[in-house]
């Protein structure tokens, strides 16, 4: 019992250190940054694509509003009778555009996969940030560190949506401006086989694989960050929980996060993201 108390004390101490050095808040952004054109253009393109395929549907799951800026968070859905369902999230960080621009080719891959699993895809979780090419939301909150506190409109919209749905597999799409190569996070998995397959395929295509990214106390091993379950509770304690962390703790055991290096051209990053999801679907279904 005494040792359990010691561990809790240690985790709380580490959590406080993380809180002070990895704040999820920045100052709010000025009101003149309110142009929603970029996200509207992407939504128009996605709408045209959905209209051209009667198996797809699109709906609004919530409205993000900041004064003059108002924009919906959308979800694209495909339903089938197969007993599996995938959720893919993009652009929770507004300055990681390859995730949002991967959505249409990704949907084509998912629809044509032999598993015929149902799926939902959220193309832009952070519409204000995506329009401004900024990581945070308008209030300066890092939405992907807000899944313990739920202070942002965006995290609350996503939380309500996923509470009504159960997914067997969740994939969160990201980009990393500091990394030299591609990498993938997995959470509380018994082995790294599926992630290694993804890294192998991306490497075979000639793209760089990250060897050196460090996230708090975790490190990449040949392109894979293997996060243990205790690490997720530690992120929860430190109020830094990401959407993937949250979903792994409360919903599905099969959760992955994909990261592409932003020094590559956008078209290559879209190819890497779609390839990574395609390999993951092959491995999981």
Residues of this chain that interact with Zn ion (CB under 5 A) are 93, 96, 174
CA distance 122 to 42: 12
CB of 78 or CB of 223, closer to Zn ion: 223
CA distance 192 to 190: 7
CB 121 within 8 A of CB 196: no
As a residue count, the chain comes to 285
| Nearest distance from C-beta of residue 168 to Zn ion, angstroms | 23
For residue 106, give the nearest of 262, 258, 253, 248 by alpha carbon.
258
CB of 138 or CB of 174, closer to Zn ion: 174
CB of 85 or CB of 248, closer to Zn ion: 248
| Nearest distance from C-beta of residue 245 to Zn ion, angstroms | 13
Neighbours of 213 (CB within 10 A): 19
CA distance 64 to 45: 20
| Nearest distance from C-beta of residue 170 to Zn ion, angstroms | 15
CB of 106 or CB of 117, closer to Zn ion: 106
CA distance 161 to 62: 9
| Nearest distance from C-beta of residue 196 to Zn ion, angstroms | 22
CB of 118 or CB of 179, closer to Zn ion: 179
CB of 100 or CB of 271, closer to Zn ion: 100
Query: In angstroms, what CA-CA distances link 96 with 35, 177, 282?
Result: 18, 9, 25
| Nearest distance from C-beta of residue 270 to Zn ion, angstroms | 16
CB 186 within 8 A of CB 259: no
Pairing of strands 214-215, 169-176: unpaired
| Nearest distance from C-beta of residue 126 to Zn ion, angstroms | 10
Q: Structure tokens of 72?
A: 């919906």
């Amino acid at each position: 019992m005494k040792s359990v108390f010691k561990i809790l004390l240690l985790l709380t101490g580490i959590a406080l250190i993380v809180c002070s050095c990895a704040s999820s808040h920045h100052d709010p952004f000025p009101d003149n940054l309110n142009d929603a054109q970029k996200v509207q253009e992407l939504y128009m393109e996605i709408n045209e694509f959905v209209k051209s395929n009667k198996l797809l549907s699109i709906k609004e799951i919530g409205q993000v509003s900041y004064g003059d800026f108002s924009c919906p968070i959308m979800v694209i859905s495909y339903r089938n009778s197969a007993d599996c369902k995938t959720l893919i999230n993009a652009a929770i960080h507004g300055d990681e555009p390859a995730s949002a621009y991967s959505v249409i080719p990704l949907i084509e891959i998912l629809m044509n996969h032999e598993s015929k699993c149902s799926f939902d895809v959220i193309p832009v979780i952070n519409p204000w940030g995506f329009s401004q090419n900024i990581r945070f939301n308008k209030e300066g909150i890092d939405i992907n560190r807000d899944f313990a506190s739920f202070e942002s409109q965006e995290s609350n919209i996503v939380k309500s949506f996923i509470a009504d749905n159960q997914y067997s597999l969740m994939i969160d799409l990201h980009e990393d401006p500091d990394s030299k190569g591609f990498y993938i996070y997995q959470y509380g998995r018994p082995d790294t086989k599926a992630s290694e397959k993804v890294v192998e395929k991306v490497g075979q295509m000639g793209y760089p694989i990250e060897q050196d990214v460090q996230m708090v106390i975790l490190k990449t091993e040949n392109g894979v960050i293997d996060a243990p379950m205790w690490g997720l509770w530690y992120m929860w304690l430190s109020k830094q929980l990401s959407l993937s962390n949250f979903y792994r703790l409360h919903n599905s055991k099969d959760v992955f996060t994909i990261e592409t290096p932003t020094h590559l051209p956008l078209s290559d990053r879209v190819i890497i993201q779609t390839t990574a999801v395609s390999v993951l679907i092959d491995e999981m279904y």
